[in-house]
Amino acid sequence: MAQKPTPGAGKRDNPVAATSLQAGTNTDATNASYQDQRGNGGELQQTTTDRDARITTNHGVPISDNQNSLKGGARGPSLLEDFVLREKIFHFDHERIPERIVHARGSGAHGTFTVTRAIPELTRAALFQAEGTTCDVFVRFSTVAGSKGSKDTPRDVRGFAVKLYTSEGNWDLVGNNMPVFFIQDAIKFPDLIHSVKPEADRMMPQAASAHDTFWDFISLMPESQHMAMWLMSDRAIPRSFRMMEGFGVHTFRLISADGKASYVKFHWKPKLGLQSTLWDEAVKISGADPDYLRRDLWEAIDAGDFPEWDLGIQVFDEAFAAAQSYDVLDATKIIPEEDVPVQVIGTMQLNRNPDNFFAETEQVAFLPTNVPPGIDFSNDPLLQGRLFSYMDTQKSRLGTTNFHQIPINAPRCPMHNFQRDGLMQTQVPKGRANYEPNSLNEAGEAAGPRVDAEQGFRTIARMTELGNEPAEKLRVRAESFADHFSQARQFYLSQTETEQGHIVNAQVFELSKCQMPHVRIRQMSQLRNIDEDLARRVAEGLGMDLPEAAPVAKAPVDAAPSDPLSILKNADRSAKGRKLGVLVTDGADAAVVEALASAARSQGASVMIVSPKVGGPKLADGKQMAADAQLDGAPSVIFDAVAVVASADGAAELVRHKPAIDWLSDAFAHLKAIGYSAEAQPVLDKAGVQADDFVLQASAADQIVSKLCERNWAREKTIWAPK
């Protein structure tokens, strides 16, 4: 259990930005926690010039607060007049061309969405008025930190962006594979991404969070600790895009035809269940196949094995929101599914690969502002900044205000307005009227499209949430956003013992890459506020003394563990979508190979025949078997389980071939099922494969295939030294 900080521990003198605290408010502790979060890991490293300099706009205007955007009330919407936010994000949005600044490496696919449960009582969106309603979709999966040419399998958040081409215009549900985020306010987004990108003076490391600047930022931002727990978990190294969840992250609203508003969280639940790789496996996959996840998605769709997700919603009202110990507008928080169950309302299937990667996957432009009537926004300050930023980013990337005319971005319903011209205009609007109102038709009436006062988009009229906030202009963070550790603790305690060990190992690995000791110390001081055992194990793994717990703005509370937060507690037991690798040598028994392949395919798995030579083995019956891959180019890390079917002579050759030994030793170390023919025993012995429940005779085809979606976690304790 984490050490409970004493009351008022979060109140500290703030030499950096004390003037930003609002006189007459009760936000001193909250804001101090954002402005001065050094913890016990040493003071911020500043030169005399740094201390004397003031942060200003690009035009020299001094900035009083660089942490909080200007809002209409402490929990109100961000205001357009905030030139500090506008300039900061404007500059950030234009830092890179033409590659995306974040989510640069992506993979996309076309598909359909089908409503399985109508919800007219919750929303007037036409899509959800009748069961069976369908629309086309385009989905882009991505990593966040790496460049367009980086690898697929780093430890990273995965983007999960869905463009639904509805009859009322495009709906872009732009989310991630984790339900929370690092920051609470969009004004901090440039700082977050600058910290995780390659360090400015040396441009490394690529696509990695294991370095000083990232952990320096994280350890100074207590609000980031919950998301850091997700990032250090197995959620950050998915086995497949097809086997990860998606989340809208923010709290949105549903608006019914009679104007009733409900809060909503969006979830995508994969039909194949959740599965991740091991860290050592992910590292080796990146060398064997940097396009591993992209290839997996493409090949599954190409083979007709179409991945599917259920769309679920958590719906709740203002009374529920007001009763929680956390703020539902805080993007660093989840709403536990035990408190608000996820209701499934539709299913998405991806069933067509792009015809052209650049034209579709690269040029697709997602805008959180794209919502149909009946879906609306909340005052989540991170969401508010995203609504402001994305269109500007698309203009920078795609070079024109007419990016909506690119086919992948164009709506599939009629589109009319009076916007004209612009770079790369491809449409040819006719008529004299390019303004509204007008009276230019022959009868002296309005020409062109008109607004739809009844069915057109209308945002909720009330400016503030819960109806009890003054509409003052304040650069503050609401007190209800101040608890940064309760849900981070809940996440850790919700994991199995195995998953907790992976989080510990990930923290140790990442912090060991930090060269500055004070960064490691400060992060450990934050971990003590999450869980004492976690912090102790990380300290032991680093060989460092455990520092005092960092001060907090608000003491964390104990929340009940939540099983949906664990991958292993919700593991799918189906072989569907998994891949079996079968290493076959000359002289092998064809019947054994065929039985393995048949068992796998009958359960929805795919099979790859691997051979020492790409021409394929000549089997005992004298027939030549076609090989899908050559051994040296198909290491076991790309399979979910493996089998070796060899003759005595073939096994003797494998024993002398280092890639064959690695093929088996890696599969054993990565806790996978291993099938083998009796003749292959010398190869297993050389590779150090020891007998257990997951090492089976190749003739036990059904048993091997049944373990495709599993790992032998008991084996992990004998192979990987615990921390």
Average pLDDT value over all residues in the chain:
89
Q: Is the pTM of this model over 0.75?
A: yes
Mean pLDDT of 1-5: 39
Torsion of the alpha carbons at 281, 286, 287 and 288, rounded to the nearest 10:
70
Burial of 702 (0-12, 13-18, 19+ CB in 10 A): middle
Burial of 352 (0-12, 13-18, 19+ CB in 10 A): middle
Which of 405, 416, 414 has the alpha carbon at shortest distance from 448? 416
pLDDT score recorded for residue 66: 86
- Asked if 123 and 256 touch (Cβ cutoff 8 Å), the reply is yes
* Higher-pLDDT residue of 635, 452: 635
| CB atoms near residue 612 (< 10 Å) | 22
Which of 186, 205, 91 has the alpha carbon at shortest distance from 146? 205
Q: What is the pLDDT of residues 482-492, one digit of tens each?
A: 999 999 999 99
Residue 689 has pLDDT above 90, yes or no: yes
- Asked if 618 and 557 touch (Cβ cutoff 8 Å), the reply is no
Q: Given the structure tokens 């104990």, which residue do they identify?
A: 558
**Amino acid at site 266:** F
**Alpha-carbon distance 198 to 240, whole Å?**
26
Which of 457, 479, 518, 406 has the alpha carbon at shortest distance from 44? 518
Residue 465 has pLDDT above 70, yes or no: no
- Asked if 498 and 713 touch (Cβ cutoff 8 Å), the reply is yes
CA 708 to mean position of chain CA atoms: 25
Residue 35 has pLDDT above 70, yes or no: no
Residue 656 has pLDDT above 50, yes or no: yes
Which 3 state secondary structure label does DSSP give 178?
coil
Q: Give the residue ranges of DSSP H helices in 278-405.
A: 279-288, 292-302, 318-323, 381-398
**Alpha-carbon distance 207 to 196, whole Å?**
8
Write phi, then psi, for 260 (nearest 5 degrees).
Answer: -70, 130
pLDDT score recorded for residue 177: 98
For residues 124-155, b (16+ Cβ closer than 10 Å) or e, as one string? bbbbbeeeebebebbbbbbbbbbeeebbbbbb
Secondary structure percentages of the chain, helix, strand, coil, to 5: 35, 15, 50
- Asked if 710 and 693 touch (Cβ cutoff 8 Å), the reply is no
586: its two tokens: 């000359």
pLDDT score recorded for residue 470: 58
Which 3 state secondary structure label does DSSP give 368?
coil
What percent of the chain stands above pLDDT 90? 74
pLDDT score recorded for residue 458: 73
Residue 602 has pLDDT above 50, yes or no: yes
**pLDDT grade for 682, boundaries at 50, 70 and 90:** very high
Residue 503 has pLDDT above 60, yes or no: yes
Which of 355, 367, 400 has the alpha carbon at shortest distance from 173? 367
Q: Which long-range contacts (CB under 8 A, 24 or more apart) does 443-448 make?
A: 448/416, 448/418
**Alpha-carbon distance 435 to 417, whole Å?**
9
Does an H or E element contain 171, and which? strand 169-176
**pLDDT grade for 53, boundaries at 50, 70 and 90:** confident
Residue 610 has pLDDT above 60, yes or no: yes
89: its two tokens: 């994000």
Q: What is the pLDDT of residues 243-274, one digit of tens each?
A: 999 999 999 999 999 999 999 999 999 999 99
**pLDDT grade for 18, boundaries at 50, 70 and 90:** very low
Residue 230 has pLDDT above 80, yes or no: yes
**Alpha-carbon distance 83 to 69, whole Å?**
10
**Alpha-carbon distance 241 to 360, whole Å?**
18
- Asked if 173 and 260 touch (Cβ cutoff 8 Å), the reply is no
Residues forming the active site: 103, 176
Burial of 204 (0-12, 13-18, 19+ CB in 10 A): exposed
**Alpha-carbon distance 669 to 9, whole Å?**
45
**How far lies 677's CA from each of 583, 651, 666, in Å?**
11, 10, 18
Q: Given the structure tokens 């007037």, which residue do they identify?
A: 124
| CB atoms near residue 422 (< 10 Å) | 12
**Alpha-carbon distance 89 to 189, whole Å?**
8
- Asked if 296 and 240 touch (Cβ cutoff 8 Å), the reply is yes
Residue 640 has pLDDT above 70, yes or no: yes
**pLDDT grade for 457, boundaries at 50, 70 and 90:** confident
- Asked if 363 and 404 touch (Cβ cutoff 8 Å), the reply is no
**Alpha-carbon distance 313 to 343, whole Å?**
5
551: its two tokens: 């001060």
**Alpha-carbon distance 354 to 141, whole Å?**
13
Which 3 state secondary structure label does DSSP give 685?
helix
**Alpha-carbon distance 719 to 601, whole Å?**
31
Residue 463 has pLDDT above 70, yes or no: no
Mean pLDDT of 372-381: 94
Torsion of the alpha carbons at 412, 415, 421 and 427, rounded to the nearest 10:
50
Instruction: Choose the weakest-confidence range: 41-55, 107-121, 543-557.
Output: 41-55
pLDDT score recorded for residue 722: 62
**pLDDT grade for 93, boundaries at 50, 70 and 90:** confident
**Amino acid at site 541:** G
Q: Which domains does the chain have, with CATH numbers?
A: 83-179+242-405 (2.40.180.10), 573-719 (3.40.50.880)
pLDDT score recorded for residue 423: 85
**Alpha-carbon distance 245 to 274, whole Å?**
7
What contacts 498, CB < 8 A, 6 or more positions away?
568, 713, 716
Beta-bridge mates of residue 276: 238
- Asked if 587 and 650 touch (Cβ cutoff 8 Å), the reply is yes
**Amino acid at site 324:** Q
**Alpha-carbon distance 564 to 494, whole Å?**
8
Beta-bridge mates of residue 72: 473
Burial of 454 (0-12, 13-18, 19+ CB in 10 A): exposed
Write phi, then psi, for 409 (nearest 5 degrees).
Answer: -100, -15
Which of 624, 632, 573, 628 has the alpha carbon at shortest distance from 606? 628
Residue 400 has pLDDT above 70, yes or no: yes
615: its two tokens: 């021409």
Mean pLDDT of 626-643: 96
Does an H or E element contain 160, and which? strand 158-166
pLDDT score recorded for residue 50: 52
Strands in 695-697's sheet, in edge-to-edge order, are 629-630, 606-611, 579-584, 641-645, 674-676, 695-697
- Asked if 267 and 334 touch (Cβ cutoff 8 Å), the reply is no
**Amino acid at site 668:** F
Q: Given the structure tokens 């099938």, which residue do they identify?
A: 675
Q: What is the pLDDT of residues 402-427, one digit of tens each?
A: 889 999 999 998 888 778 888 888 88
